[in-house]
Chain A
Amino acid sequence: MSQRRIVIVGNSAASLAALEAIRRHDGMCPVTLVADERVPAYSRVMLPYFVSGERRDLSLRPFDYYQRMGVQALLGRRAVRLEAEALVLDDGTALPFDRLLIATGSRAAVPEIEGVHTPGVCPLKNLADAIRIRGHLPGAHHAVVLGGGLICLLVVRALLKVGLSVAIVVSSDRLLSRMLDEEGSALVQHRLAQAGVRILTHTDASRIVGRNDRACSVVTAAGEELPADLVILAKGIRPNTGVAQTGGVAIGRGILVDQYMRTSRPGVFAAGDCAESPDLLAPGRRTIAGTWFEAVSQGETAGANLLGRSRPSLGTLKMNVMEILGVAVASIGMTGAPGGEGGVLVSSRDGVYRKLVISHDRIVGAVLVGDVSEAGPIASLIRRGLTRSELEPVDFSRPIRYAELGLLRGVRFRGSEGCQPPSPVVPDNSQSPIQLLFATFCIKLPASDNPPLRVKDPPL
């Protein structure tokens, strides 16, 4: 068999997951990894912890990782053009490929307001941003964060940690409006207010005022002037689709991919923040998840498919989890009331809030605040799309426990079950959903003369 030459663009969650999936199946094929940042793979999730000084080492893998993986890593090089059978880099090198994975991620959205380029105004998307923010910390007292999403809150957490007073300016009516429902947001906002964070909703920054070449305040649309030695832009992300565009790959909001992570161009795949992929809960529609979870899962799917293993994903499921000032928050799938048949199950007590969204007898979403211990089992139920009648008599109004699901369905509780992550595995239609749910959790029965082994890569 002639070996496929694989080129990966990007060096974060999706790329690493893809690389590792490739190496699980094929230790030999030549792989080249291109990334515009000079540093080895680091964790973007940890950037806020770097800003606050809690973590200094952000590296995700050992120092000799690329060598051990047998990968040619071209760090500090930017891919500029996608040609017929080669990827052209900024120094003119043409990398020929048989399979290409574009995992270029996303960049921070920069709002077009006056003074947005003043020193002291910065997003937090990569290591350079984090270093810049750290450079602005000495002597800073007030910070303003524009935007109210997950990144915003992680930044707020970090800034509080280093002793800044923080104000959040958000154009929607509440924080985390796309991750949580109103009650969940209210709990988070309450906790932030307790810690002295000012939250301005329904407004936006209209200009950033600088003095002595440094930001000093933010003027809101309502006309209020907020002191700000530091302004963090956290108004969402934009997929990096530039390279894909030069190669004529179909682009929507992100690079359009199917459930195999294939783009419109044969041999070219995309995964992670830059990809717009089929939505698990809205058949026929695509979405950009923009989460670390999904990047890992898509990267893994792409890696297997790059090698021609035909592994579709079940679909993109938006979910995320975070902690702010001791309050854990998780959100999975849909968070609002479902349209049509369905409803929500809500319980709220002592700052612990739980909501399950049920549509057509299936759990399609959850919001958990204060206690996220059942998040994993819920996420796997949503992925599997099991109906309530199939799960009878599990009581959805009580915390969902794997033990109960297992008790119900007669799953073995032996240690050492060779678990495969449920996400990228695809249903074999000959099995019932319930079998599928547990098929991945149980050891496969080997032929009688073979001893049971931990299943590393179960046949599909």
Chain B
Amino acid sequence: MSRMIVVDPAKCTNCRMCELACSLATTGAFAPSRSRIRIHAFAEEFKYIPLMCFQCAAAPCAKVCPAGALVQAEELVRFVKEACIGCRMCMLACPFGVVSFDSAEGVIAKCDTCSGEPECVKFCTPRALEFRELELGDVPKGRDFARRIVEAAKG
């Protein structure tokens, strides 16, 4: 089974090391604005949610890409940078909004799990990010997490 970046928002401390590590690995500079992973901070709720490409199994972005730059692979939605024309159709197709645009390069940017060795995970000290195979437990655990949020939201 495929390995995935598994996110546990409950552990995220908003330190944003992942964004630095990602941008350094992918662009060669410490530029969080160009990071493929973004932490969405909700300060009032004390919630920090790291989001990156989910590597969908039937990815809308790959279906719509008119340049053959996003390719549906078995475990990954592969991004072929040289093919990208910067039309941004994928940004409109992705319901999660996790495809960003790298204006320095004129192409889109999206997580490719660093070809199986994600930098963000290496630098995530609180272990909110893990790169591993999905376990049976992930689903019910996720359910618990969801229920907790819903209950918290109710007050």
Contact = CB atoms under 8 A, between A and B. Distances in A.
B95 A412 contact: no
Contacts of A353: none
Interface footprint category on A: 35 or more
Interface residues of B, number: 57
Contacts of A293: 64, 89, 92-93
B143 A412 contact: yes
A372 interface: yes
Nearest to B48: A403
Contacts of B91: 321, 330, 372-373, 375-376
B57 interface: yes
B87 A403 contact: no
Interface string A88-123: 000000000000000000000000000000000000
Nearest to B128: A413
B24 interface: no
Contacts of B6: 414-416
Nearest to B45: A407
Contact of B59 (A323, A373, A419): A419
From A411, A412, A420, residue with most partner B Cβ within 10 Å: A412
Contacts of B50: 413
A54 B87 CA distance: 13
Contacts of A323: 86-88
A320 B64 CA distance: 12
Contact of A13 (B5, B66, B95): B66
A17 B5 CA distance: 29
From B2, B6, B50, B64, residue with most partner A Cβ within 10 Å: B64
Contacts of B96: 376-377, 402, 419, 441
A445 interface: yes
Nearest to B9: A413
A379 B40 contact: no
B14 interface: no
Interface in A375-422: 375-377, 379-380, 400-404, 406-422
Nearest to B147: A410
B25 interface: no
23 contacts: A55-B67, A293-B92, A300-B63, A323-B86, A377-B97, A401-B40, A406-B49, A407-B45, A413-B50, A414-B4, A414-B6, A414-B7, A414-B134, A414-B139, A416-B4, A416-B6, A418-B57, A419-B54, A419-B57, A420-B56, A420-B58, A421-B58, A445-B143
Interface of A: 13, 17, 43-46, 49, 54-55, 59-61, 292-293, 296, 300, 319-323, 326, 328, 330, 332, 372-377, 379-380, 400-404, 406-423, 441, 443, 445-446, 451-452, 454-457
Interface of B: 1-2, 4-9, 40, 42, 45, 47, 49-52, 54-60, 63-64, 66-68, 85-89, 91-101, 103, 134, 136, 138-139, 142-143, 145-147, 149-150, 153
Given A416-B6, A416-B134, 13 more contacts: A13-B66, A46-B85, A60-B68, A296-B63, A373-B91, A376-B91, A403-B40, A407-B153, A415-B55, A418-B56, A443-B139, A452-B134, A455-B57
